[in-house]
Amino acid sequence: MPAIDVRALSKSFAGRRAVEGLSFSVEAGECFGLLGPNGAGKTTTLRMLAGLFGPDQGSATVAGCGIRPREGASRELRRKVGLLTELPGFYDRLDANENLVHFGRLYGLSRTDARARSARFLERFLLAAHAHKPFAALSRGMKQKLAIARALLHEPEVVLLDEPTVGLDPEATREVRTVVGELRREGRTIVLCTHDLDEVERLCARAAFVATRLIAIHEVAAVQRGRVHVDLAAPSAGAAPALRNLPVVREVTQEGLRLHVELAALDGVPDVVAALVACGARVAAVQPVRDPLEEAYMAVLAEARGRGLLS
Amino acid sequence: MRGAFLLLSKELTELRRSPVLVLSMLSLPTAMVAVPLLLVAWLDRAAPPETLYWLREVYRIDLQGPGGLIGVLVAAVAKNWLPLFLVMPVFLPILMAAQSVGGERERRTLEPLLATPISTAEIVLGKSLAAVVPSLAVTWVAAALLCLGLDLIAAGRMGPVPMPDASWLFGCLLLCPLLALFGNALAVVVSCRVLDSRAAQNLAAMTVLPLLGLVVAQIMGRLALGTSFYLWFALGTAVSDGLLILLAVKWFDREALLTRWR
């Protein structure tokens, strides 16, 4: 059973359709990307999945809790979901620790548990030295990490991240991505809403392209896992035939000194290199093929514009 | 109701750390206490004869009434100052409660707050307590200081403790809490509909105008605010409080608060 199952979800605001007939599912433990231009309905979708408000039509199940039209926001759902909002709103006059303890208690933790978990997350996100600084005195990256800590304090089954690295400098971006990567390795179900295609390539197995409605679901990891470029230092007639004999290789094409190799999995790369060396080829470089996510994204945008879904 | 008390505790912590808001809350009570005390003390001890003549002629005050001059002055403050004093428990909660929802929105804390399992009733109650409790505390301390000051000025020349009299006890113990609830509930209702906290504050503050009108009418002698008026006033305020609190919970629309920008 998927951790998130969205079926024909629709939502309008003041007559403007924000989300229309959106359907997708996310498996437990999967990191799922939600991509789309501004105004595509990504944040609205996350807010519905977080139980902030209900859809006009359609339904969804998140961590076993149903979301249906004209139903009040479910408290049970909100207990099971951690939401990272686009901007890390905290109370300026409380320090980092007090803010976390306050939100932990609102999520139902006892004072003792909230304090213990706050200390643990501040330590984990390297914020312990800043625990007693007022929120306003923290850097943008620290604020964002604090917001991620808030989303995780109550140990949610599903984590919804809305633009986790927007507006951050490269160092802070890297720190936040490291944190998200850790969450993924812990096996949490994550929905990552972002404009950053590189982020999706690094963190997600699949991504949905949305422009009010679902346009396509892209298998990010499958493409990344399967394709490598091998650059040879000198021409070699035997290189391509040698690779075709390997069980891990699905397909090989040659273009000058570059071999395009499609593998069953990226862990077949050492076999590829060994086979090339054995046949006398001189290997200059082996590079995983970058996922053509940007191209796919642009194609999706063009399609969405063609269908009148975007201006 | 656990969530409401968590919000109250957080708001009181923030209030303690906000000297500007505390000062703005204390300025009105300070004036409400200092002005009548200084005036009575001056009239009693140092006013020139022409001022007393003016009081007698213009306000038709019998300065030879029971208790002598000080008795007349204390009675005048007890009668005329109470309606003005009652503006305070309406106004102070408005200062705080108008910020309640709009302020959360402006600080971007509304969405994280609504993402927690807290209920709408808990949010409204928590925000209301956070506005009413400190406002009422300040009002009661101000009333106690005013009464104590008048008692000290009149010490030995009137009965043992002239203030608080029955009307002030009724006003402080019943009307002040009802009016504080009214000011707060009105500010929360306005704050739910008008998302700019400053606009909400200004709109809600306009509710003190009818009260000020009553005060002016009383001072001008056009209206005598007696026992029956205060009883009906208390009843009307209590009914209004109930209706406004219900309206605040009904109008607290999570979706509109997150997605509407005007």
Q: Which among A95, A153, A184 is positioned nearest to A176, based on CA atoms?
A: A184
Tens of pLDDT along B237-258? 999 989 988 888 888 878 878 8
Highest-pLDDT range among A256-270, B19-33, B146-160: B19-33
Give the model's pLDDT for residue B195. 65
- The CATH 3.30.70.100 domain(s) of chain A lie at 226-288
CA torsion through residues B227, B232, B236, B239, sign? positive
Chain B touched by A83 (CB under 8 Å): yes
Interface of B with A in 174-193 (CB under 8 A): none
Residue A201 confidence class, pLDDT cut points 50, 70, 90:
confident
Question: For B35-72, how does the pLDDT look when each residue is reduced to its tens digit (9 = 90+)?
Answer: 999 988 888 888 888 887 877 777 667 777 667 788 88
| Percent of chain A topping pLDDT 90 | 43
- Residue A206 carries which DSSP code? E
- Using CA coordinates, name the residue in chain B closest to A13: B259
CATH of domain A4-211: 3.40.50.300
A78 contacts on B by Cβ (under 8 Å)? 115-117
The candidate with the shortest Cα–Cα distance to A108, out of A60, A156, A59, is A156
Report chain B's mean pLDDT, rounded to a whole number.
84
Q: Which helix (H) or strand (E) holds A4?
A: strand A4-13
Section A148-165 average pLDDT: 92
Give me the helices (H) in chain A, please: 42-49, 75-80, 96-106, 111-124, 140-152, 170-185, 197-203, 220-226, 239-244, 269-278, 293-306
- Which residues is A192 bridged to in the sheet? A33, A161
Contact A103 B18 (CB under 8 A): no
pLDDT band per the 50, 70, 90 thresholds, residue B196 = confident
Average pLDDT of the segment spanning A17-39: 89
DSSP state of B45: H
Place of tokens 């606009």: B199
| Beta carbons of B14 and A85 less than 8 Å apart | no
Which of A79, A103, A108 shows the shortest C-beta gap to B112? A103
pLDDT of residue A290: 62
Domain range A226-288, its CATH number among 3.40.50.2300, 3.30.70.100, 3.30.420.40, 3.50.50.60: 3.30.70.100
CA dihedral A218, A221, A227, A229 (to 10 degrees): 110
Give the mean model confidence (pLDDT) for residues A93-102.
95
pLDDT score, position B261: 58
Query: Regarding predicted confidence, which is higher, B53 or A157?
Result: A157
Sign of the dihedral through C-alpha B176, B182, B185, B186: negative
- Shortest CA distance from A136: residue in chain B: B107
- Provide CATH 3.40.50.300 ranges for chain A: 4-211
d(CA B241, CA B206): 17
**Range B11-29 average pLDDT:** 89
End-to-end CA, chain B? 31
Nearest-by-CA chain B residue for A107? B116
What pLDDT shows up at residue A309? 67
pLDDT digits (tens, 9 = 90+) for A165-183: 887 788 878 888 888 888 8
Extract the tokens encoding A111.
């004072």
Mean pLDDT of the region B116-129:
90
Over range A214-242, report the average pLDDT.
Answer: 79
Kindly determine whether residue A53 and residue B254, on different chains, have CB atoms separated by under 8 Å: yes
Q: Please report the DSSP string for A12-30 in residue order.
A: EETTEEEEEEEEEEE-TT-
Chain A hits for B3, Cβ within 8 Å: 106
Buried b (16+ CB within 10 A) or exposed e, A38-65: eebbbbbbbbbbbbbbbbbbbbbbbbeb
> Quick one: closest CA in B to A95, which residue?
B14
Helical H segments across B86-175, by residue range: 87-97, 100-106, 110-114, 120-153, 166-170
Tokens at B7, concatenated: 């919000």
Residues of A in contact with B10 (CB under 8 A): 91, 94, 102
CB contact under 8 A, B108 and A89: yes
**Which of A112, B178, B133, B250 is closest to A120 using CA atoms?**
A112
